[in-house]
Structure 1
Amino acid sequence: MTLTELELTSADHARGKRSPVTCALKCANACLEPDCNTSHNPHFRDIASAALSRRALLGIGAAGAFGIAIAAATPTGAAYAGDGRGPGKGGDLEFAPIAPVASTVDDFTVPEGYVWEPVIRWGDPLFAGVPALDFANLTAETQAGQFGYNSDYLDILADPNGKTGVLVNNHEYVNPGIMFAAAAVDAAEIRRRGDFYKNAQGFSVVELTRKSSGEPWNYVVGGRRNRRITVETRFELTGPAAGSDLVKTAADPEGRWVQGTLGNCAGGTTPWGTILSGEENFDGYFAWAADTAGQQRYRATPTTSTATGWETYDPRFDAHDADYVNEPNRFGWIVEIDPEDPTSTPKKHTAMGRMKHEGANVIVGRDRRAVAYMGDDQANDYLYKFVSKDRVSGSRKKNLSLLSEGDLYVAKFSGNSPAGEITGTGALPADGKFDGSGAWIPLTANGVSVVPGFTTEEVLVFTRLAADAVGATKMDRPEDVEPNPKTGKVYLALTNNSGRAATAVDEANPVTGNRYGHVIEITETAGQSGTTFGWSILLLCGDPATNANTYFAGYPKELVSPISCPDNVAFDSEGNLWISTDGAPSTIGRNDGLFKVPLEGRERGRVQQFLAVPREAETCGPVIHDREGLVFVAVQHPGENGSVAAPRSYFPDYATAHDPAAGIAAAPRPSVVQVYRDEEPVKPGRPRGRGRRGHGHGPKGFPGEPRW
């Protein structure tokens, strides 16, 4: 079934936190699939060794040997009273927390005294001669030169002069229901739209300019570094699995060059200035064979069609084809791109393992090795760490190959409270907190497999199976995981796991049917490159007004902003944690937002909401430049449940129609937004919380024309 044929109702989405449309398009209804992780770690190795040969288990070979399957089967804009202690502090970003915004509100809400405006929107042209977005004429050719769809990971990198910079943004997936007016399509139209979808995803690299440091940014059409990376861009495989039989296809018999990137979710910026992106929900793009345990661990059931329809005309997306059975193995990697060189070949690093990567974030350890933390974003999957073989040097050229060699670890958590005190309700154990110790279990050492029965290539291509075999701890959807650059402590956002059974709770995942998610704080006990850590739960999320067992690091729960489904995290210059959310509308009835959480002193755990995104949108890619008084977020899938004929959001243009003569109504546009202080007096008829170029106040020609 193609995207244009989807008919979605609430029955299609029986559990989880997302709308049925988001769940179908973003992750191919992963929450409705049988659990991919059927391992019972204490005896998994016995099953693997006694019942299955290694080759049958993994389905080794270019043609994909059939193996034995493992059975599985408040009013907007109003200041929030909060705790009455006044604005939170953090660089130049003092603010009074906003009131939670009802999930029916189609507005971008910021604190009193701040304004917002888009930096760039889906369809804005990046190159001279490329037309502006035309809803009546969406073509693959124009989209290849325009800003992509559904913005996710984001960074804003200023040049030393402070006046120029570069924006890098992931584009995770598409929603044709709010792109194309017509529903009925033939094979030719499926191909036309399919090629458009390919060019709407991937990355955008865009140059920025401004008058002086600290000012808001404008994007540059035709900037030297401007680039689009899509599903058709050539990537180089690096590391031990490159060239192995597990990644060879008819189109790439050497197994070293991959066409495109998929499902680009969160990411990270390295100390040497490159961008990392996690290929997350890649499985939904393939007609999925799932005929071996190695494939089933990434998607439990086979499929014959996809939402994009690519498999109908591009054989590499049909994994039933013996020539392309390994094509899915070429996705699910950490991708590295160099935003400074638009001619460079992006890389996929096999040494960092293959999974549904949320992202990767690098910190330099005391021994000068690069350490990357990674979450595998699926219920009951794992937290990982990669440590580079070589040390970070003063040579950027050498650092560009750092992630090609190193060792991969998976986390095992142990609690320090009696099992009987972990009740599944979220009630604290007797010692007053959920905490304990942990170990980083090696999957590779000195670049070679240390998992019995797995070759190095198998560990890296079928990383989930290798992690099962060493007894890793099943977590509640590990999404973004980032080290705090000020303290070195690591923060893991666990978005939720509505399927966690009462018999499966543990101290690190202490809530049965965890709908609201939690955040874990990790302290490495032997440095970032070490193999032991301590941990404690910083936040048990939810609305304290309706959930008595929320927890905010000991801060009075009645004095915080309600928060649900933590997704991405970031830090300001003072080391405060900032959290963006994905799922609050369906869990606490509020629009998703961005929240600040102090980590030290008397305000530790005080959750304060800074902004809320529009109706049905997800808050992504937060970037906090607090010393300049700037905050950036990517607004993904606004008005996701609407259609071209009946839009449910008009963000960010809030126009009445793009082409009334053609009968095409206004449609929402995923965008990158900047928030900054309002230095102009409020004028009659001008609402607060909307920037000089924001909602209702666009420049001449906005929307439709390039703004700069």
Structure 2
Amino acid sequence: MSECDSRGEQLEAADDEPVARATAPSLATLWQRRIGRRDLLSGFGKAALLATVSPAILSLAACDDTPQYTPDDIFGFEEVPHGIDETHHIAADHNAGILIRWGDPVLPGAPPFNVLEQSAASQLAQFGYNNDYIGFIPLPYGSNASDRGLLCIHHEYTNDDLMHAGMADADPREFYTRRIAEISMAAHGGTIVEVARDGNGNWQVVTESKYNRRITPLSTTMSISGPAAGHPRLQTSEDPTGHNVMGTFNNCAGGITPWGTWLMSEENFNFYFIGQPSDEAEAANHERMGFPAGRAYPWGAYHKRFDLAAEPREPNRYGWVVEVDPLDPASTPVKRTALGRFKHEGCENALTKDGRLVVYMGDDQQFEYLYKFVTAGMVDAGDRAANADLLDNGTLYVARFEEDGGRWLPLVHGQNGLDETNGFASQADVLIEARRAADILGATPLDRPEDVTPSPATGKIYVALTNSKERAPEQVDAVNPRAANLWGQIVEMEPEGGDHGAENFAWTLIVKCGDPRFPAIGAAWHPDTGENGWFTCPDNMEVDAKGRLWVATDQGSGWSASSGGADGLYALATQGEKRGLARRIFRAPIGAEVCGPCFTPDGTTLFLAVQHPGADGTKSFKGFERTSTFEDPATRWPDFDAAMPPRPSVLVITAKNGGPVGG
């Protein structure tokens, strides 16, 4: 891994480093083959994906003939222009207010935030760092309330160089003390917090709520369930049973189940272990997951479970999906091993036609795979308790994109080479090494598959492929003519028969990201997309009641090359004559990533996360042009207090007319 300026840039670099192995044909290659053999250039004349693309791409971007909205009311807001500066910008006809910031109180009795006197004990009662995914559960449970509910929020990682004085340019292994390591651990994980509108209609945190809770790798004991629970490869000296584990970390996009539980994804967990693995039997497994990870968080100097030499099987206890019950603060979170182990991004879900739950998941690293899990049992909508262990039984699938459509391949022990001849003695082994199992099945490597979002409006699934910086020139083709792609694209998938349980699917690209003014980039948008509507590096997504896809972007430190401006939130039309038309409603401050867009049921409130402000790419920020530090940050958003560094925050976006966000 190359040396990077900030912790966030180190994590970004890890995402951009593919793990070398033999793979199936790339998505770009499959598109090229499809164009070469299909004779369907007529019959899709309404699909105007735009400017700078050939007639072939227009024919393949098939649109839905039953739009959910008319062209005049697709976007009811004033667009925010491209640019970059120290603060955020919202459409002029909308409001954006800060709801909660790093260090704000969560638990009753939490101390006031003092950035110069931080402690793990204080942080465990306060809002964590780098808020990512946001889920909303209406209160009372079972209602469709849009004025009171629980927010379930991930805290992905910590930018310690912006959290603590004196860390600039320091090697974390030399700067860290037990106190700093445990503050970092306490700032990871997640937060459950009750929010409600006050008498003036403004959203507030209910600080005395019985539901408020922090989930962290320092303080939260979790159980392990499913096929891998108790397996010897999950047994350690601290947990010889293999059934219990302390905490979760590096949680990215997630999901809320139909029975109101929170699914927390574990992504770049390899970044938290130090030392060299002492168990030769796990060497290949660890290598496939990216161990050792270079400049890791040095938690292992103080908690031996993060030292690979002392506990070489501990990494097998991370990289899972964790289910949490926000309605029961005393409940024990559960790692559901049936959903597989990899660098999870997203756990959004949908129902099959016969009532089973399907969970869609990306593996966020260059040239990794797209997965789904289908439960064996059906969701019981009338009995919440009956769904308690539904995620322990079912089938994990990985996607292979064919020349015309695609298939979901089951990752089942004993089938298709997933047996002892390839080192899989049981289903537990298949799940622990889901990446290697997917390699054997010939899954299609994708360009950093991040959030995966099914649309209730169309029944289709949207996959954010953030970028493909490592694409080689020999992978360039007519439909994706860009080596070292900095911009990314969004794939639209349609399950056969409209059933999420189907093993076959159709697929197309709804947009290819980048500036359409430059033909060499090869961007593909609806021709009405304006100079401020196009975007790059799609990441988190959400679908609203009108079927619009809301896309949050994450350019990382490469913003100056990919767009020249800050990250933001965009609305994208997915249906009808305006399919592929995008418009920006929000722009983030310098160095920040936009995450977790989440609507209330009535659509009148949008919760939005802004993480690591002042962190990424600050050397490219004109007028600043240096590394951002605690003492000298590129911005002090959102407080703009000379005594306070930048603070990751959750915002509340509402329309000034009181109607749905975005019109």
Residues 479-519 of structure 1 show CA distances to partners (whole Å, capped at 9, x for unaligned) of 00010012210000000110011234579976422210000
Residues 552-598 of structure 1 show CA distances to partners (whole Å, capped at 9, x for unaligned) of 45545556612000001101111111100000723111100000011
Distance 1:390-1:508 versus aligned 2 partners, 3 A rule: farther
Structure 1 distance, partners of 2:105, 2:416, is 46
Structure 1 distance, partners of 2:476, 2:389, is 40
8 Å contact from structure 2 (residues 570, 586) kept in 1:
yes
**Following superposition of structure 1 onto structure 2, how do residues 368-387 of structure 1 map, counting pairs within 5 Å?**
368-387=355-374
8 Å contact from structure 1 (residues 550, 557) kept in 2:
no
Match of 2:156 in 1: 172
Structure 1 distance, partners of 2:206, 2:71, is 35
Structure 2 distance, partners of 1:186, 1:591, is 31
How far did 1:87 drift?
9.9
Structure 2 distance, partners of 1:390, 1:175, is 41
Structure 2 distance, partners of 1:247, 1:310, is 20
SS in 2 for 1:264: coil
1:97 aligns with 2:79: yes
**Following superposition of structure 1 onto structure 2, how do residues 427-576 of structure 1 map, counting pairs within 5 Å?**
436-444=404-412, 451-452=418-419, 453=422, 454=424, 455-504=426-475, 511-526=482-497, 527-552=499-524, 554-556=526-528, 561-576=533-548
How far did 1:286 drift?
0.5
Structure 1 distance, partners of 2:477, 2:501, is 26
Match of 1:673 in 2: 651
**Following superposition of structure 1 onto structure 2, how do residues 252-271 of structure 1 map, counting pairs within 5 Å?**
252-271=239-258
How far did 1:271 drift?
1.1
Structure 2 distance, partners of 1:624, 1:545, is 32
1:302 aligns with 2:302: no
Match of 1:411 in 2: 399
Match of 1:398 in 2: 386
Residues 292-329 of structure 1 show CA distances to partners (whole Å, capped at 9, x for unaligned) of 22111111x536x75432111211001122xx111001
Match of 1:632 in 2: 607
How far did 1:359 drift?
1.6
SS in 1 for 2:253: strand
SS in 1 for 2:177: helix
8 Å contact from structure 1 (residues 580, 592) kept in 2:
yes
8 Å contact from structure 1 (residues 476, 514) kept in 2:
no
Residues 640-667 of structure 1 show CA distances to partners (whole Å, capped at 9, x for unaligned) of 1521211111111122x23xxxxxxx21
**Following superposition of structure 1 onto structure 2, how do residues 613-632 of structure 1 map, counting pairs within 5 Å?**
613-625=588-600, 627-632=602-607
Structure 1 distance, partners of 2:613, 2:452, is 25
Structure 1 distance, partners of 2:428, 2:191, is 31
Residues 444-500 of structure 1 show CA distances to partners (whole Å, capped at 9, x for unaligned) of 27x989724323111100100000000000100000001001221000000011001
Question: Which of 227, 233, 258 lines up with 2:213 in the alignment?
Answer: 227
Match of 2:301 in 1: 312
Distance 1:143-1:498 versus aligned 2 partners, 3 A rule: same
SS in 2 for 1:141: helix
8 Å contact from structure 1 (residues 285, 307) kept in 2:
yes
How far did 1:347 drift?
1.0
8 Å contact from structure 1 (residues 579, 595) kept in 2:
yes
How far did 1:30 drift?
1.3
How far did 1:114 drift?
1.6
1:589 aligns with 2:564: yes
Match of 1:644 in 2: 630
Residues 260-279 of structure 1 show CA distances to partners (whole Å, capped at 9, x for unaligned) of 10110010111111111210
Give % identity.
38
Distance 1:510-1:350 versus aligned 2 partners, 3 A rule: farther
1:108 aligns with 2:88: yes
**Following superposition of structure 1 onto structure 2, how do residues 602-617 of structure 1 map, counting pairs within 5 Å?**
602-617=577-592
Match of 1:237 in 2: 224
Match of 2:44 in 1: none
Counterpart of 1:95 in structure 2: which amino acid? F
Distance 1:234-1:308 versus aligned 2 partners, 3 A rule: same
Question: Which of 234, 242, 252 lines up with 1:247 in the alignment?
Answer: 234
8 Å contact from structure 1 (residues 518, 566) kept in 2:
yes
Match of 2:204 in 1: 218
- Tell me how many residue pairs correspond in the alignment: 583
Match of 2:551 in 1: 579
Match of 1:137 in 2: 117
Counterpart of 1:621 in structure 2: which amino acid? G
Counterpart of 1:165 in structure 2: which amino acid? G
How far did 1:549 drift?
4.8
Structure 2 distance, partners of 1:624, 1:555, is 28
Give the structure-1-normalised TM-score: 0.78
How far did 1:169 drift?
0.5
Counterpart of 2:82 in structure 1: which amino acid? P
Distance 1:325-1:509 versus aligned 2 partners, 3 A rule: farther
Instruction: Flag structure 2 segments of 5+ consecutive residues without an equivalent.
Output: 26-69, 616-626, 659-663
Structure 2 distance, partners of 1:448, 1:468, is 14
Deviates more, 1:671-680 or 1:520-529: 671-680
Counterpart of 1:592 in structure 2: which amino acid? D
Instruction: Flag structure 1 segments of 5+ consecutive residues without an equivalent.
Output: 1-7, 14-18, 43-85, 416-435, 659-665, 681-708
Structure 1 distance, partners of 2:495, 2:175, is 55
Distance 1:672-1:558 versus aligned 2 partners, 3 A rule: closer
Distance 1:307-1:295 versus aligned 2 partners, 3 A rule: closer
Structure 2 distance, partners of 1:186, 1:363, is 43
SS in 1 for 2:179: helix
Residues 149-182 of structure 1 show CA distances to partners (whole Å, capped at 9, x for unaligned) of 0000002332235442111100011112111113
Distance 1:136-1:40 versus aligned 2 partners, 3 A rule: closer
Residues 171-209 of structure 1 show CA distances to partners (whole Å, capped at 9, x for unaligned) of 011112111113389989611110111100101000112
Structure 2 distance, partners of 1:528, 1:473, is 19
How far did 1:117 drift?
0.8
Give the structure-2-normalised TM-score: 0.83
SS in 1 for 2:95: strand
Structure 1 distance, partners of 2:494, 2:320, is 26
1:207 aligns with 2:194: yes
**Following superposition of structure 1 onto structure 2, how do residues 145-164 of structure 1 map, counting pairs within 5 Å?**
145-159=125-139, 160=143, 162-164=146-148
Deviates more, 1:362-371 or 1:642-651: 642-651
SS in 1 for 2:344: coil
Distance 1:355-1:635 versus aligned 2 partners, 3 A rule: same
Match of 2:56 in 1: none
Distance 1:507-1:265 versus aligned 2 partners, 3 A rule: farther
Structure 2 distance, partners of 1:472, 1:588, is 31
Match of 2:28 in 1: none
How far did 1:372 drift?
0.7
